[in-house]
Amino acid sequence: MKKIILLIITAIIFVGCNSIEKKEAKISKEIEIKNPWIRSAAAGMNTALFFDLKNNSEADDSLVSVESDAAELIQIHETIKAPNGMMQMKEIGKVSVRKGTEMKFKPMGKHIMFILLHEDLPAGDSVEVKFNFSKAKSMSQKVVVKDFTK
Amino acid sequence: MAATKKISAVLLFVLVNACGNNFPVIHDFKNEDFTLLNADSAEMNFPSVFKGKIIVAGFIFTNCPDICPLTTNNMRIIQEKLKELKMGNVEFAAISFDPKHDTPKVLRDYIRIRKFDTDNWTFFTGNQQVIDSLLKVSEVFAIPSDTSFVAGEEKVTFIHTDRIMLIDGDLRIRKNYPGSTINIDEIIDDIQKL
């Protein structure tokens, strides 16, 4: 009898854990961060993080903030062309990503601005970055440091 | 008939080659010099220190996270391609329009972390008024925009001209390019024609 009860408890735990794992996998796939990289920079400087953000979910979502211990302040920015061949950068509060679409954070466009780096970020290193969304669960990811992409 | 064709071809060849380096003079630095500081804090007179050589000069500030790194990366690619072509008569200059922040030490850190080849590439900073004068004659604009204090440190961003300029051996600006999106083959071709 004890063996049967033990078997039932084991089965419940197994099925329960399995469904939690499946749920977590589903949640993590709702939003995908692809090809992330951050440009190398020295301690005290600013740099930028780039990636592709894919919304696989059934609802529109927004990237609302990014966290990392690598910098004193992190903001969502966009580089825009000003008149007469001038360039400027502006902070944007959040970035909406419609369901089933992909948003590219790339040089000369939207990027994550890391302000006042705490330490050197040489090419080849990596930093832990947490992405926060308005609906999807936050996700942490290791991001590789590169000098340039070409 | 065959002789006429040959003569025409020769004339066309001469004409194309004669016009090949006929870039307009955008600005002549002949009577101007700007005393700047390099990353080792040594004074250098720009551009006369490079007289006789072709100069590829870009304008940057080291806190710029997006456009200026693209400009310096393009300069790095141009430098590498010219080395492959064994063209040793070219000097590179990256001039900061944020000298208040971009001290020689900051420039050294910038060079170190991005592993720039300083064999023929000088990073410049200097007195703000001198830099402003250089920007003015080069028709480069850099206007401070957002200023914030992060952990007590002032961080300034700029609305700025996206510029790489080509200066000939007689210290004349001959062509301007968008620094972040420059056509590498075009400037290599232009350098070969100068």
Q: Is the pLDDT of residue B15 over 80?
A: no
Tell me the percentage of chain B whose pLDDT exceeds 70: 89
Amino acid letter, residue B72: T
pLDDT score, position B4: 60
3-state secondary structure of B25: coil
Whether B43 contacts B153, CB under 8 Å = no
Within a domain: B83: yes
Whether A73 contacts A65, CB under 8 Å = no
- Per-residue pLDDT of B159-170, as tens digits, reads 999 999 999 999
Structural domain count of chain B: 1
pLDDT score, position B155: 79
Backbone angles phi, psi at A69, to 5 degrees: -80, -5
Task: Pick the more confident residue, B72 or B14.
Answer: B72
A9 touches chain B (CB under 8 A): no
Question: Residue B189 sits in a domain of what CATH number?
Answer: 3.40.30.10
B103: containing domain? 24-193
Contact (CB<8Å) A148/B73: yes
Look at A17-21, A32-36, B102-106, B172-176 and tell me which has the smallest mean pLDDT: A17-21
Residue B154: which pLDDT band, with cuts at 50, 70 and 90?
confident
3-state secondary structure of A29: helix
Q: Which residues of A36-62 are buried (b: 16+ CB within 10 A; e: fewer)?
A: bbbbbbbebbbbbbbbebbbebeeebb
- Closest to B145 (Cβ–Cβ): which among A39, A84, A88? A88
- DSSP at A138: P
- Per-residue pLDDT of B51-67, as tens digits, reads 999 999 999 999 998 89
Within a domain: B175: yes
pLDDT score, position A85: 81
Within a domain: B51: yes
A136 touches chain B (CB under 8 A): no
A39 touches chain B (CB under 8 A): yes
Nearest CA in chain B to A41: B113
First-last CA distance in chain A: 67
Q: What is the mean pLDDT of residues B80-105?
A: 96
- DSSP at B96: E
pLDDT score, position A66: 98
Residue B2: which pLDDT band, with cuts at 50, 70 and 90?
low
Whether A95 contacts A103, CB under 8 Å = yes
Contact (CB<8Å) A73/B146: no
Contact (CB<8Å) A87/B180: yes
Within a domain: B7: no
ipTM: 0.81
A74 touches chain B (CB under 8 A): no
Whether B21 contacts B194, CB under 8 Å = yes
Within a domain: B8: no
pLDDT score, position B21: 64
Segments of chain A scoring below 50 in pLDDT: 15-27
Class of domain A31-146: mainly beta
